[in-house]
Structure 1
Amino acid sequence: MPDPAHWLAPARRRAALGAVLVWSPLALVCAALVFVLAGTWSTVAMLVVSALAVVWAARAAAARFDAQWLILRLNAREAALEDSAALVFGGQPLAGIEQLQARRIAARIAALDPAGLADDLAQRRIALAWMLAAAALAAIAVWYSQEPAVPPLSPADPATAPAAPGAPRLVGQRVRIIPPAYTRLPPRYSDSLDIRAPQGSRIEWTFAFDPEPAAAAVQLVGGQAIPLTRASEGWVGGVRLDIPSLYRLTAEGLGAQQPVHRLEPIADDPPQVRVIEPASGLATMRPGQSRWRVVFEASDDYAVAAGARAAITTAIGEGENVRFAERSITVTGTGDPRRRRFAINLPLGGFGLQPGSDLVVQLTVADTREGAPQVVRGPGVILRYPAPRLAEVAGLDLMAKQQMPAYFRSQRQVIIDTEALIRQRRSLSADEFLVRSDTIGVDQRLLRLRYGQFVGMEAEETPRPPLPVSDKEDGAPPEPDHYDGDGHDHGEAPENPTFGGLGNVLAEFGHTHDESEAATLLDPDTRALLKLALDAMWEAEVNLRTGKPEAALPFENTALDYIKRIQQATRIYLPRVGTQLPPVDMARRMTGKREGIVGRGAVLEPFAIADAVPATAWRALAAAGAIDLAGLDQWLRVNSARLRDPLSVLAAVDGLRSAPSSKAAREKLRAQLWSVLTRPPATVRRRPDGGDMGRRYAGGLR
């Protein structure tokens, strides 16, 4: 019987070759990309990994060809085999007649060529793979050629060279800054050793010395030392830029007084969200509207994540029977990654909106910062389903008017509405002008009643009987009578009054307009101003209700002026509570013992500063004593976010540490700490000098 492996070998070799020809271009592209981004050693590692992957793909392609495939291929291509190839390659025991047929079929199979059973190479697939790989390699080559070439080492500052002859001195320097990948910023080179780069960047130094030292390092002030290794161009080393720091270059034999340099990270700002559509934050649902389109725009200094979450909240119902429901959907942004737009089309039929309900949409976006993206929730947009207009009814105000909510009504708005009505007088009919003037008068009345509550004004909703004619000689109006149902709380009369008992006289014969537990007390000046404002509001209301807005406008402005003065006045809010005295100790009463009842004199407590470390150091710098620089350095690192320029303060601390007896270093650090000190809670105001006349008078006295 023929060997199946002999007949499968050509097909397996051709399948493996096809897999190698298809996947090899991808391996070359990956290696070229790694070479551009990471260098030679990473490229070698990538080539090894890619080769192993291609070998695995070739073995997987060859493993698909087995005995079952061979049987099917022979039966399909050779009709002379009479669909009996399974008798030869099936591997099962055969009966007598089956053995005879198997020998006949084996003789016919032996006359065939095994290479003819293999499939041809997928030339189109191979050609497409190599064409795409060639295009990718060309793009990588163009990109690599456009990258700035590695600049030569720039000369070092001559002032840093040591005075000792034969000692190592710095002759060249270069800094490479590799921003984080999420910033999409290209690497760059800098000649200056003062570095300012995005937070999370990789900082790589290259230094050249003459003569070469035995060892070199970058020493972070107050922190770790970063060792430098010898390379072809010089000594190289790197660090990740996360926190602001100061550093200096150190080497064996190098001068000890090397200058310090800055490592300043640029923090990633959170994204900003604004509403593009609709133009207003409050939109009104139109009759027949079935969809609502909302467009947000999110911007970031580097990039905004493509996906965002939109929180949709519905408030259905009125008064206390409001039902809230919240759902969220995923929205995909479009446009520039630094400024993406998120469009949301909401089908309104699925939210069950009713008249008087609201639909609120808020967008939550994030940036692409590595590790912990910054998440920001933008402003909300409201779609309001307007409530139906009230039907006209007869009553005190002739008709029920659609009024704005109370929190939108103010004296300034009344003035604005009055001025607008005066300008539109010529374009309105007499009846429409009177109706609009009366509407503004109703707003003025409601505002007057709201302010009047602070001086005990009644709600004026319950009709009262006419006042009796005064029988006083001066004609002053008498006090109004009080009766049941007048809208006031008269209290309950005592059940069993007794002669001579005081009881609740106020509850029996009078009433109060303030709550007894927590009454609002205004000082007399403020109360007088409020009464003047209410009088002006009353005059304005009378003129508005009678269709004379021009006459009402001066009173409206007068009321607004009084309200402004009231807002700046001193207000006193006192609860009416009784005096709470300590209980009397009956055991000590009438004994004459005074132990424990005589209070001590007032003792001045020392003023404690929350952050006493910089204040203590600032006072110590004025003297010649020692200073806790370690504690100050630790405080500065913990509170660096509160400082405007923490690196300048750290540099001053390092300067004093290097020269403890230097008066200039102490003064420099003291000046830096002045901006860090906590401001006192109160300041003493300088007395005015009386102007030019006062200064001349004081000069004459001298």
Structure 2
Amino acid sequence: MTESGSKILRRFKRHWQLKVWIEIILYALGASILAYFLSQNLIYCIGVFSVVCILVFIFFKPQNINLQIVIRYIDKQLVSAENSTGLLLMPQEHLSSIARLQRYKVENELNQNLKTIKPPDRLIRGAIVLGVLTFIGFVVHQFNLVDDLNPSRQIKVPEERIIFTPTDSSAIKTPPPILKSQLLTIEYPKYTRTASFQTSDMEVKALEGSKLTWQIKFDREIESVTMESMGNSYPMKFIKGKYTRTSTATSSGFYSFRFIDEYGVAYVSKLYAIEVQKDQKPVLEIKGLKQFTSFSFDANKNLAFNTLIKDDFGVANAYIIATVSKGSGESVKFREERLGFDTGVVIGGKKQNLFKNINLNLLKMEPGDELYFYVEALDQKHPKPNISRSETFFAVIKDTITDRFAVEGTMGVDLMPDYFRSQRQLIIDTEKLLKDKPKLLSQEFKFKSNELGFDQKVLRLKYAEFMGDESEFTHTPGESEETHDHEEDHDHDHEEEDPLAAYTHKHDSENEHNLVEEDGKKEDPLEEYLHNHDDPEESTLFTKSLKSMLRQALNEMWDAELHLRLYQPEKSLPYQYRALKLIQKIKNSARIYVHRIGFDPPPIKADKRLTGKINEVKGYQKREEVSVPVLHPNIRKTILRLETLIQREDSITDIDKVLFKQAGNELAEIAIENPGKYLETLQKLKQITEIKETPESILIDVQKGLYPVLPQAYPNPVKIEKVNSDINQLLLKELEIND
């Protein structure tokens, strides 16, 4: 069905105007989104949208697109129209026969080719502008690049002036200097990306590490201006007609201004609070993961979870600390790895949702291995960032093929003592010494090697004692200590000490008593667990094969100790490994089994039983006087002194001012936590410290303000002694007789 030419032209015009309007909206929408990111104010955003719409409308003028413009555009785009599109708007009765034929031809051409002709538009350009403005707004908002452009975040500047009061009104000879201007500039640390701002309000609330700059200007130059803070006085520099001081906000406190005019009269201001806010640590929240997860060997061993990280000034880095545990007992090994998240960390982002999928197979974990991991996040605080870590999560691959000891009617007892597990530590320390050898001095290296040799010696002696051998540190039973000490002194006096005595096997001379049986043998620590029916040497816990392995392990320890003493730890390691291997074999095979486990009480002497004598039982009694420190001693003294001053029994002296100043320091430490509660009392206390003539009402207010600072007193019941007269004593006796 063909459409008339006039309708085609009008529809083409509406389509053209619609595209222009869409382009206008794209520009206005991009500008409004940028404004919203900057201001966080919806009304401001709507205003920007309206203004941009009006400006772009005036520039593009979509209402000027009429049919004549459409005709010229179609004639230019459609060559077959032969510049005759205008005939479609003329009445047919006013056209000649040739013109009617031409009109009919143009109308057919438009119906056939109109789909190939599109109105001119710049929608792609509008979409690009919208995307660019949106991206800029997002970046500016995310990184806080232009907070000073945000009207809702601008600091309101009050017009409160600093009021100075003379300390001695009687000394005023001329009008005091007039304060012309006051200004406080707060510059946040660079890592916060927060713009600095200025205010005339002297009450400071700033982030820790911010740079604070005070500037005050008088109508004339005066002698000196100082800032007093927490008992310290800081002079202000005179720069370009203003008194200036710069400081870094490190802790909360209070401060005031003090100046002396050219005639020597001192003026002080009221106290102002400095509230320092600390940079908060990142907040971590792990979602979609249980505290403990176990996998079978043939399962899909993946740990997938999300980590939500929030920080007030942006996250600098986040990662996962994973520790893989392999083996058990003394053969356990640990491997620590630092894993990144699958989704990258946006540096400076205040809120980030990170995803991680940990594949246990990629960590080379086997059945029985365990994984421990936690998430650490760092913010951008400089120079030392705040670090937060999540709780620790666990994952394990079940080991279904491990042989385990089972209790069936009897109970297995592992008789290997704890020190049988210390040879592994000696190996670790020796390997570490070899690794650190290039960094150590020769003397230090030899010292550590000799220390390891001593540790190996102690371990060997313990093993030898366990086997029933005599220790080098013991003497023959029955020999008195005095005799032993005397013989040692005698030997030291008359014999030279053999430097190789501790490193060699002596099978003769003084070690001959180890080769023959003696009457007094050292008590075997395992004797009470064994049935010794024959020779004790043959009736030990171990079989001959186990005894030979332990003896072989002791020989390996001899050689390991020798090389350590000779400063050759690399030659000692093979012997240590062989000794450890032998000990492990003994530990796995040396078990005994008992049928029951019970409590065996110590024997009771029959002659002492049921006698009821407790003469030898001694009690324990301890007396100690605990002195409780007095809290806020200067505040207590100030309250008492103010009571005297209120009664007008005395006047304020220089000693009182020192006391009031010390009490003010104590009160300032308390007021830091709650400045709104004690600030007024602190200001008045400073006033009576500085100003000579103080009205009685201020003294009363200060005393009332100091009372709540003191801790609450609890009643302390005590026994009160009363003196009774002789008549009262006689009356009490008569009452007792009558009863």
TM-score normalised according to structure 1 size: 0.41
Question: TM-score normalised to the size of structure 2?
Answer: 0.39
Q: Which has the higher contact order (CA 8 A, sep 6+)?
A: 2
